[in-house]
């Protein structure tokens, strides 16, 4: 099994899937996704032999939600443009 620690969670999930492993969070019934953040630890530890589609529990450090991903100004709203093309009717 690879060492997922330090990987972006989505990349870890994809690599695990490609190797026949199922990455899950510490609470599989949680609505939180394991696809966002960085893997900080895993169980079983790296280099453990597993069978195909065995689960690997990963703990994710999520960056703070500071809204820094939004780059477009939301206020003031841009003016509404009306299609003013004139069509000749025959």
Give the mean model confidence (pLDDT) for residues 38-54: 94
Q: Could you count the other beta carbons within 10 Å of the beta carbon of residue 7? A: 18
Instruction: Put the strands of the sheet holding 38-43 in their side by side order.
Output: 22-24, 55-61, 38-43
Give the mean model confidence (pLDDT) for residues 62-83: 66
pLDDT band of 28, cuts 50, 70, 90: confident
Q: Is it the case that residue 70 has pLDDT exceeding 60?
A: no
pLDDT band of 62, cuts 50, 70, 90: confident
To the question of pTM greater than 0.85 for the whole model, the response is: no
Quote the pLDDT of residue 23. 93
Question: What is the CATH number assigned to the segment(s) 9-61?
Answer: 3.30.10
Quote the pLDDT of residue 16. 95
Alpha-carbon span 89 to 70, nearest angstrom? 45
Quote the pLDDT of residue 3. 95
Give the mean model confidence (pLDDT) for residues 44-73: 82
Alpha-carbon span 40 to 34, nearest angstrom? 12
For residue 44, is the peptide bond before it cis, meaning its omega torsion is within 30 degrees of 0? yes
């Amino acid at each position: 099994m690879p060492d997922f620690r330090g990987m972006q969670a989505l990349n870890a999930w994809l690599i695990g899937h490609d190797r026949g492993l199922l990455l899950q969070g510490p609470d599989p019934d949680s609505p939180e996704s394991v696809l966002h953040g960085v893997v900080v630890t895993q169980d079983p530890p790296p280099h453990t032999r597993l069978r195909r589609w065995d689960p690997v529990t990963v703990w994710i450090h999520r960056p703070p939600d500071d809204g820094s991903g939004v780059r477009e100004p939301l206020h003031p709203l841009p003016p509404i443009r009306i299609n003013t093309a004139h069509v000749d009717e025959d």
